[in-house]
Amino acid sequence: MAWYNKDEVKKFITRKNSVLVVWDVQEALVNSIFNKDEFLSKLKELIDAARQYNVPIVYTKITPLPERFQPPYLRRRFDPGDIVKEVYPKEGDVVLNKNTASIFVGTNFELMVRNAGINVIVFTGIATDIGVETSARHAQTLGFLPVIAREAVSSADKEAHERSLANMSRLMLVLDNKEIIERWSSE
């Protein structure tokens, strides 16, 4: 059970104060998830709506540090590949290289969204239980309103994905695409 009134909090979502984050939708990760086709379809739906309503889109991209500077437990070489072509960024979208599980650590994301007057961050991408949840919790701690797009997040581990959605729904909005798009279109 959530500690907040979902319908009251949803009223704070507008197209003018929102950003859509597309978290690590890179080839190796997309190919590892349990619901690839459904995920890509729902993600594309939300990206298309963001473009229609002029909601800025920020893609994150795993960018490993040079091997010597990686933590010892991460020194194996992992190439996540590029952002998948089905939802590839377009002109005007931002691609943010990052090397942590929080969009706020080691990037200028917080400065960018504060400069733009954005306080609602809609999270999509992979993996629900790692970077999406970490960034959403961090966003909430910094005073932003995180919104998880339930149908446009995924993970290689279905149980961890479902557990993460359940945990986050107690603290923040976890909404279907339809609910998010309705808020963006209501202005």
- Superfamily (CATH) of domain 6-185: Isochorismatase-like (3.40.50.850)
User: Are the C-beta atoms of residues 129 and 160 closer than 8 Å to each other?
Assistant: yes
Q: Quick check: helix, strand or coil at residue 126?
A: strand
In this prediction, residues 106-118 reach a mean pLDDT of 97
Q: What pLDDT does residue 1 have? A: 54
Q: What pLDDT does residue 30 have? A: 97
Q: What pLDDT does residue 179 have? A: 97
Q: Which two tokens stand for residue 56?
A: 């800025």
The 3-class SS string of 43-58 reads HHHHHHHHHHCCCCEE
Which band of pLDDT confidence, cut at 50, 70 and 90, is reported for residue 67?
confident
- The number of beta carbons lying within 10 Å of the beta carbon of residue 104 is 19
pTM: 0.94
